[in-house]
A and B are shown apart, each in its own frame.
Chain A
């Protein structure tokens, strides 16, 4: 067993060796520009891109023409929301999203608010789900797009996208979903699920970083976008820039593997996660699961260890690579906006750790990590004045702390 043990699969995943192998020739012998129509180097690149486009489309039930390659989900989100916003502004300038979106969605919405759009940020349930009823109540005549995350990156909660898709179609609003954490982990089918736009990113599904795509529906309805990157007119004019052929080969191969192995991957991750949670909850008291026990990614576990601060816990589990709060925001000392939106108190939010399990995680690794976590929590609780209060029968939550700092 190699140390440290990687349990941060929501932050990123390693490239599957089979994906890397497929990519390698496209850095060297087959380096051609996929847009070069006049020679074999270009044709090889174009062929590879066509194949990858089919592989990506197939995983999500789309047609290859509906896939626009981007540098990742952040770019796809910007293209979807700004592109639709600009195109449909005359229909209406109202956007519906939620408080538990990734920063890429929230900040793009903030940008659009400055451009005169009105944005409704829906409050999730305490487990982080946005119900179809809440969306229905927020939709207006002038709603141009609904943007909701499929699987939350911090707590793994799954939104009822199919029901929301049906609703949006009845009410004539487009549905964009950030499926970055969902694709490859749970079944996704843009037709069955009624999705109009969807983003995914290779580095979350055993592909390389810096490549992703936006799915843009072409029929019922045909979605139109204003390009956000002008230039040579690549990707049917929706995203100019010479195609990242090795990256595209990588995302294609990664999607093909996910399609073949989705059931096995998710069973594998779920079994490891359940093993981990089973031990943690059996051996430690005052542990809270954040998110939705039922509607949840199979490979994610977000846990608050009450009376132990998250950063100190991460420091105490040297052999385990995990994140506290969101990986993207752990540079700041603010507790996670997702946990806040779910109504988790800031004290428990400070005590939260996200564990992510994946294709390459082994039972031995999980057992070692579990042991380390349990030992570190126990040690830090010995150090915790809050845990001492609880042992003495005092509830730290009932104390007025305002005078003590």
Chain B
């Protein structure tokens, strides 16, 4: 299978690889997928006010899964939480020219963003100002 140049670029030079301290109140962590299915994505955001000031990821999965999560971190950095929530997997499919068998990678990346934001919001509700 031939990979698009953008997938190859993200695979070879993944953006924002790493981890944030998941114990911090302004850090949201999303872990989606399962090892048995061949993909697990961990995506983290650091929020200041309502803006995502940093994002990191680690992914176990095929090249398209790595590229989808790398792109997701690139896109959400600097966006507000609401703007990040509006990102749709089809935009990732388009940007990376993913073939039909790899669409689930983009879905997983969208889920990872939402899951990280959910985690952040849950922490905000749990911790009084």
**Interface residues contributed by chain A, number (CB under 8 Å):** 26
The answer to whether the Cβ of A125 comes within 8 Å of any Cβ in the partner chain is no
Complex A-B: 6 CB contacts under 8 Å: A312-B63, A346-B35, A383-B58, A385-B59, A386-B60, A397-B35
The answer to whether the Cβ of B122 comes within 8 Å of any Cβ in the partner chain is no
A390 to nearest B CB, angstroms?
A: 11
Query: Which residues of the partner chain A approach B37 to less than 8 Å between Cβ atoms?
Result: 346, 350, 405
Q: List A303-331 residues whose CB lies under 8 Å from chain B.
A: 307-309, 311-312, 315-316
Query: Which residues of the partner chain A approach B111 to less than 8 Å between Cβ atoms?
Result: 405
Q: How far is the CA of A382 from the CA of B42 in the complex (A)?
A: 13
Kindly report which residue of chain A lies nearest to residue B41, judged by CB atoms: A385
Query: Which residues of the partner chain A approach B35 to less than 8 Å between Cβ atoms?
Result: 346-347, 350, 386, 396-397, 401
Q: Chain B residues in contact with chain A, CB under 8 A? A: 3, 11, 14, 17, 19, 31-42, 58-63, 65-66, 101, 108, 111, 115
Q: How far is the CA of A5 from the CA of B16 in the complex (A)?
A: 32
* Cβ 8 A contact of A385, one of B38, B40, B101: B40
Query: Which residues of the partner chain A approach B62 to less than 8 Å between Cβ atoms?
Result: 309, 311-312, 315
A386 touches B36 (CB 8 A): no
Query: Which residues of the partner chain B approach A382 to less than 8 Å between Cβ atoms?
Result: 17
B81 to nearest A CB, angstroms?
A: 21
Q: List A381-402 residues whose CB lies under 8 Å from chain B.
A: 382-388, 396-397, 401-402
Q: How far is the CA of A350 from the CA of B41 in the complex (A)?
A: 15
A385 touches B66 (CB 8 A): no
Query: Which residues of the partner chain B approach A345 to less than 8 Å between Cβ atoms?
Result: 36
A383 touches B31 (CB 8 A): no
B57 to nearest A CB, angstroms?
A: 8
A347 touches B36 (CB 8 A): yes
A312 touches B34 (CB 8 A): no
Kindly report which residue of chain B lies nearest to residue A311, judged by CB atoms: B62
B32 touches A312 (CB 8 A): no
A386 touches B38 (CB 8 A): no
The answer to whether the Cβ of A333 comes within 8 Å of any Cβ in the partner chain is yes
The answer to whether the Cβ of A404 comes within 8 Å of any Cβ in the partner chain is yes
User: Known contacts A383-B66, A386-B60, A401-B34; is A333 also within 8 Å of B42 by CB?
Assistant: no
Query: Which residues of the partner chain A approach B60 to less than 8 Å between Cβ atoms?
Result: 307-309, 383-387
B19 touches A401 (CB 8 A): no
Q: How far is the CA of A153 from the CA of B46 in the complex (A)?
A: 48
A385 touches B11 (CB 8 A): no
Q: How far is the CA of A382 from the CA of B58 in the complex (A)?
A: 8
Query: Which residues of the partner chain A approach B66 to less than 8 Å between Cβ atoms?
Result: 312, 383
A388 touches B19 (CB 8 A): yes
Q: How far is the CA of A138 from the CA of B127 in the complex (A)?
A: 64
A401 touches B33 (CB 8 A): yes
Query: Which residues of the partner chain B approach A333 to less than 8 Å between Cβ atoms?
Result: 38, 101
Q: How far is the CA of A347 from the CA of B40 in the complex (A)?
A: 11
User: Known contacts A308-B60, A383-B14, A385-B42; is A405 also within 8 Å of B19 by CB?
Assistant: no
Kindly report which residue of chain B lies nearest to residue A307, judged by CB atoms: B60
Extra contacts, 7 of them, besides A345-B36, A385-B41, A388-B19 (Cβ < 8 A), are: A315-B63, A316-B11, A350-B37, A384-B58, A388-B58, A396-B40, A405-B37
Query: Which residues of the partner chain A approach B31 to less than 8 Å between Cβ atoms?
Result: 385, 404
Q: How far is the CA of A285 from the CA of B32 in the complex (A)?
A: 25
Q: How far is the CA of A307 from the CA of B39 in the complex (A)?
A: 10
A362 to nearest B CB, angstroms?
A: 28
Interface centre among A311, A397, A402 (most CB of B within 10 A): A311
User: Known contacts A350-B35, A404-B33, A405-B33; is A315 also within 8 Å of B3 by CB?
Assistant: yes
Give A279-297 as 1s and 0s: 1 = Cβ < 8 Å from B's Cβ atoms.
Answer: 0000000000000000000
B108 touches A405 (CB 8 A): yes
A401 touches B36 (CB 8 A): yes
Interface centre among B38, B42, B58, B108 (most CB of A within 10 A): B38
